[in-house]
A and B are shown apart, each in its own frame.
Chain A
Amino acid sequence: MSTAKANLEILPRGVQVALGLGLIALVAFPFVGTDFYTQMVTRMMIMAIFAMSLDLLQGVSGLVSLGHAAYFGLAGYALAFLTPAGTPVSLWWTLPLAVLASGLAALIIGFFVVRTHGIYFIMVTMAFAQMVFYLFFDNKALGGSDGLYINFKPSAAVFGWTPFDLDNKLTLYYFTLGAMLLVYAFLRRLLWSPFGRTLAGIRVNEHRMRAMGFGTFGYKLSAFTLAGALAGLAGYLWGTQTGYINPELMGFHMSAHAIMMVILGGMGNFAGAIVGAFAFEYLLHVFKDLPTLGSVNLGKHWQLWMGLFIVLLVVFAPRGILGLVEKFTQRKSKAEAGHE
């Protein structure tokens, strides 16, 4: 067990600038990219919301959950159940309801799971997520292994007026971008709030927090529930974009992907989660698209490249991309100081 690390919570100026440029790029992207890439980046932004929700749990609070995808998928299923076969359903009440459903599931499961610690916590989060997975996988009434289709994207119509149409790929892109920015702003605020500082304290030294009078169970459960609800937001958007929900979205692989995104980017500041989500999704895309060398189809064996990449990452860059950037800029400023 290593000692708790300080997270990179205050983003260095260079990183802030880079993120700002990234935002400009995201806003401008649909006008320069094709439909295919607009959809791909929309999906990346959805995964970024999912990753940020996990960062709240993992990066800030220090709770490593291997079952976070359960709350992601549940909201998608909620949308699927709420959407009738013949007409679209309203965005304005299904979105909150789906998010609430995910949050409620996280609250219930969290009640059992948050009382455990360390390795136990990791294992039971995985176990309960698998339980939810099998609940849907085994029951035809819930869609079974085939999953469910969402025949119509949610409609934004209110009192006869439709402000925007999510069927339009551009509209969905900007809607998702807006959601991602809102979630980021909210979580950054949360990070510096008393609640956020308490979670950070729990991550670093839960024992001392309790000795100082903090009811840590309640705080952890709140974080777990909030993270689940935000994962639900991402899941709802996924269902909206793809029109299809299946149990795999709640499975172990999906949860593990989220963990990798958060680590890849750098934990604890939510910006890393966004960077990690984009990088991970892009990497997957690259690996799966590898050409055939001679008789070996490199793309078919994308899991091998992904696996090697992950192992190399954890051996050489455990604090992810932002961690490397921080190291690089520190070295640079040390070198500059040495020249004076």
Chain B
Amino acid sequence: MDLANFLIQLLNSVQYGLLLFMLAAGLTLIFGIMGVVNLAHGSFYMLGAYLAWSLSTLTGSLTLAILLGAVLSVVFGLALEWLLFRHFYKRDHLDQVLLTFGLIYIFEEVRSILWGDDVHGVTIPDVLSASVPLTENLSYPVYRLFMSGVCIALALGLYFMISKTRLGMKIRAGAFNRDMAESLGINIKLIHAVVFALGVGLAAVAGMIAAPVASVYPNMGSQVLIMCFVVVVIGGIGSVRGALISALLVGLVDTFGKVLLPSMAGMLVYMLMAAVLLWKPEGLFKQ
């Protein structure tokens, strides 16, 4: 593999990894802080993509669609938490699995009713549609760099919020010791709602920015969900830092695996997970 090709694969790995991180960060926070397993997380990604398609078609601007979609998905997340999820924090994992699987079905049908079952493409805005030349023959799409950029910005925002703001401190306190945090006057219910809505928002935005590249199709949620679970297992539940490192690792293994060992490509990530589990059954950075 020559340098230019290697660079392309590396950039692709990072971009895929960062996208996975957006989903895994929300999932690991929701697991770690509220103890809820949510199989419908992939559905948020899908709903985000479809939202991007219809909003960008409506407004003519992908950027506007993403901003609008982000707000809508956060509101949706708050509503979903208030209506359903907050009643399940203390229930069995089995009940949570059942609930969220039922939600997958419902979301699939809602999507089918609202947007149909066709595959759609989302056009990249002109300003982002150029390519950066790497060699005489090879270039790298600016839009993919934009995707990574957005993910990095959101990751930095997340880091800043969790470690440097009062809200982040309250979230960490609530994760560490819920009862203590409550007795200190921290509104745990609000914290949980915020964390949940944040997770939904991140997943939806990931779907939105991925839409032009991955296209918009019915099964996209379940495919990304399983990768997401692998990332969280490898990284360790509750650890956002673990999710980042794990997501990048998975991105690298998956992307380079497809190029170097195509016959084993689908299995490589799971072999990585198996290896990690043998060494650390609770993930690399378990809290």
Contacts and interface: CB of A to CB of B under 8 A. Distances in A.
Direct contact between A and B judged by beta carbons closer than 8 A: yes
Interface of A: 1-2, 58, 64, 66, 112-113, 115-120, 122-124, 126-128, 130-131, 134-135, 137-139, 252, 256, 259-260, 263, 301, 303-304, 306-311, 313-315, 318
B275 to A, nearest CB: 9
Given A112-B277, A116-B277, A138-B266, A259 B97 contact: yes
A315 B265 CA distance: 41
A89 to B, nearest CB: 28
21 contacts: A112-B277, A112-B278, A116-B277, A123-B230, A124-B233, A128-B274, A131-B270, A138-B265, A259-B97, A301-B113, A303-B106, A304-B105, A304-B109, A307-B106, A308-B102, A310-B101, A310-B105, A311-B99, A313-B98, A315-B99, A318-B92
B125 interface: no
Contacts, number: 126
Given A119-B31, A122-B37, A131-B270, A263 B233 contact: no
Interface of B: 31, 35, 37, 39, 84, 87, 90-95, 97-99, 101-110, 112-113, 222, 226, 229-230, 232-233, 237, 263, 265-267, 270, 273-274, 277-278, 281-283
B266 A135 contact: yes
Contacts of A139: 263
A137 B266 CA distance: 9
Nearest to B263: A139
Contacts of B31: 119
Contacts of A138: 265-266
Contact of A124 (B92, B265, B277): B277
Contacts of B87: 315
Contacts of A301: 109, 112-113
Contacts of B99: 310-311, 314-315
> Sorted from nearest, which 6 A-B pairs have the closest CB atoms?
A307-B105, A310-B102, A134-B266, A304-B109, A307-B106, A131-B270
A44 to B, nearest CB: 21
Nearest to A307: B105
Given A252-B226, A307-B103, A311-B102, A122 B93 contact: yes
B282 to A, nearest CB: 7
A58 B90 CA distance: 19
A67 B121 CA distance: 33
B103 to A, nearest CB: 7
Contact of A127 (B105, B270, B281): B270
B186 to A, nearest CB: 21
B122 to A, nearest CB: 25
B92 A2 contact: yes
A1 B92 CA distance: 6
Contacts of B90: 1-2
Contacts of B37: 119, 122-123
